[in-house]
Every structure is written in structure tokens, then in C-alpha cells.
Amino acid sequence: MVIPIRDENPTRRKPVVTLVLIALNLAVYFGIQLPKESTPSNLIQGVSEADEFTYRYAAIPCELAKGHPLDVDQFVSQQCSPAVRTNGAVGQQEVFPNKNVWLAVLFSMFMHGSILHVLGNMLFLWIFGNNVEDRLGPVVYVLFYLFAGVAAMAAHVAFNLDSTVPTLGASGAIAGVMGAYIVWWPRARVTSIIPILFFFGFVELPAAVVLGIWFVLQFFTNPNEGVAWVAHVGGFATGAALAYALHNVFPPTFPDATRTRPLWRRRTGPDDDDWDPGFGGGYRGRL
């Protein structure tokens, strides 16, 4: 496992959109989802308000495949096509009849399943998102991010048509950002943590190695962990394909940023105007 903590890749401006996306994700989880964890639902017996919120707003493959929200029988049995259905109108009633299953795809990109889930996603978004935003510009970056997220969800649904489990997280959209990064800056240095037994080693690796390892590991995900790894692969592939197609449309802001500077030539003193060695993610500027 390789855990990136920062990169050395300069940008022209502060990543406003990336910061807004991070703020929205954190606000939804810590401001809405987490406080509901310990409160029982008034609508559905035996579940928390957090679970109710998830089923009400998050994307569910079965709902997207059928084009309508889960009904009572599907929710109770947790099967898209229950073997036995209730005789009567109650079982056929939708649990959340006002739910827009298509808009739920967007909502899911800002919902997460745990503290580690949201913090891990935001770390990756901060490290790799600022450069992609800088190259595409804020408007195109938003469209790119959302498109990658939708494509990731489509990939997940295609392989899980009968699943009634809500799909949460910005992972698919962020995977798209990572796919673009590996195409545009494969040799940019990324400082990473590598756990070795009970110790942690800090190493500088090319982005192609860090992101390549992450991508390959998706295919070895334990199916019982509940990780939507197909969404990760779909988002990553989408982002990489878009970056390749847009390579000449959005030229690099710093043409030499893809070159890995040898360690013995690295400068981190006050006269270094090319690389920011701090945690600022590569923002080229001083206050």
C-alpha cells in the first residue's frame, strides 16, 4: 500500500473549486450524516436517521436499473426482485416515492460511509485535484469532475444491476481526477508513506508509480469489504481517456512540470521559484 501525502507540481492559482468540493463533502458528512448516526428513524423501524437519509438520497443500482425508487418489499427483503411479494398495495408502495433516482447519482458524490472514507477521499482530491483544475480551468474542471463521477456510477451499476445497497462517496469522481493526473504528469514527484511492518517509510515516487499501484490494487479488493472498486476503475479510465483526448486542447501550464527533477538538483531554499516544498500542493506563490 502506498499512501500519498503531497506532490511537487506547481500551479498558477489557488484551487478554488477543489477547495469548495472538499468543503461540501466535509459539510455533508460531518454536518448531516454523522449527527444522524445515533438517532433512530421515525419513518423506518430498526434503522437510524443516517440510514434513512442514505436510502432517501443516495444512488442505488436497482433503482437506476428499474427507473424508480425501491418499494417496501424490495427494501425489506433487500432484493431487487423479491422471490415472494406481499399480496396487497402496501408491499408495492415505494419507500421514498418522491425520490429522484437520477439526481441521487449527483447526491451520492457528496456522501460518505465513514470518517476514514471521507478524509481519505479528500486527501486524494487535494493532492491531485489542484493541478487538474489549474489545467482545465474552474468551469471545465467541474464538468470533468461530475462527468467522471457519473461514468464511475454507470460502471458500478452495470456490474451490480440487482444491488439494493446505496452507493456512497466521491471516489469515482476523484478516480477520474487521478486518471487525468497520471496521463498529464506521470513523472511528477509524489511524497508517499509506505507502511513497513510497524514502521512508516517516506519516499518520493513518480505519480505513475503511486497511481499505477492504486489502480492495480482495485482489482484485488476483497468483495466482502463493500468497496465499489468497479466505480473506481471506471472513473479512473474515464479521466485518463478524457485527459488524453484533451491534451492539446488544454496545454500544460508549466511544460517542465512533468519532468522529475533529480534529488541532487532539488532546491528548497528561499530562491526557489519553481517548486513549493510545503503542503500547499504545489501552489506557486507567496504571501
- One digit per residue, pLDDT tens: the chain, 287 residues? 789 999 999 899 899 999 999 999 999 999 999 999 888 888 888 889 999 999 999 999 999 999 999 999 999 899 998 877 776 656 678 999 999 999 999 999 999 999 999 999 999 999 999 999 999 999 999 999 999 999 999 999 999 999 999 999 999 999 999 999 999 999 999 999 987 767 778 899 999 999 999 999 999 988 778 899 999 999 999 999 999 999 989 988 765 544 444 443 444 444 443 333 333 344 333 33
Q: Confirm whether 271 is domain-assigned.
A: no
The confidence score (pLDDT) of residue 267 equals: 44
Q: Confirm whether 183 is domain-assigned.
A: yes
The confidence score (pLDDT) of residue 256 equals: 52
Q: Confirm whether 170 is domain-assigned.
A: yes
State the CATH number of the domain containing residue 28: 1.20.1540.10
Q: What's this model's pTM, rounded to 2 decimal places? A: 0.85
The confidence score (pLDDT) of residue 283 equals: 37
Q: What CA–CA distance (Å, rounded) separates 238 from 249? A: 17
Task: Determine the residue type at 243.
Answer: A
Q: Confirm whether 49 is domain-assigned.
A: no
Q: Confirm whether 125 is domain-assigned.
A: yes
Q: Confirm whether 10 is domain-assigned.
A: yes
Into how many domains does the chain fold? 1
The confidence score (pLDDT) of residue 128 equals: 97
* Residue partners of 279: CB distance under 8 A and separation at least 6: 6
Domain with 15, as residue range(s), is 3-35+104-255
Q: Which of 128, 147, 105, 122 shows the shortest CA–CA distance to 242? A: 147
The confidence score (pLDDT) of residue 194 equals: 86
256: DSSP letter? G
* Residue partners of 15: CB distance under 8 A and separation at least 6: 126, 129, 130, 133, 134, 281, 283
Q: Confirm whether 7 is domain-assigned.
A: yes
- Residue 204 C-alpha cell reads as 518520493
Q: Confirm whether 205 is domain-assigned.
A: yes
Residue that the C-alpha cell 460511509 belongs to = 113
Q: What CA–CA distance (Å, rounded) separates 53 from 163? A: 18
- The alpha carbon torsion through 121, 122, 123, 127 (nearest 10 deg) reads 110
The confidence score (pLDDT) of residue 140 equals: 97
The confidence score (pLDDT) of residue 64 equals: 96
The confidence score (pLDDT) of residue 266 equals: 44
